[in-house]
Amino acid sequence: MGDDALGGNASEMLRSYARRIVALEAEKQRAKEQHIDPLTADIKDVRAEARSQGFDTRALGEAIKRARMDPDLRETVELYEAALVDLLLGSDEDAAG
């Protein structure tokens, strides 16, 4: 799914939200390591802003999670998902046929 799938402005907005969440989560982790109050409220605010613009924040969180994954693990997860989708769609076709 490239820029064309969301449209240029929406795609850039989504990248901006993702960058902000990733930066805040990194800062939150550093704060936890130093035993300082985490930035949970700031992260929630960015997610609420993304939601108010019509973005699915669960999907955004999953996309961020995947972007952080080791490339080999991400490839394996995508392979498993493809197999499961085929399995589920295949079972629907079997039931209908």
pLDDT of the residue at 91: 57
Query: Amino acid letter at 55?
Result: F
For the stretch 51-92, pLDDT in tens is 999 999 999 999 999 999 999 999 999 888 888 887 777 755
pTM: 0.61
Query: Residue range 40-49: average pLDDT?
Result: 92
Average pLDDT score over the chain: 85
Distance CA(29)–CA(25), nearest Å, equals 6
Q: Do the beta carbons of residue 96 and residue 83 sit within 8 Å?
A: no
Residue-wise pLDDT for 64-73, tens only, equals 999 999 999 9
pLDDT at 97: 47
What are the extents of the domains in the chain? 3-68
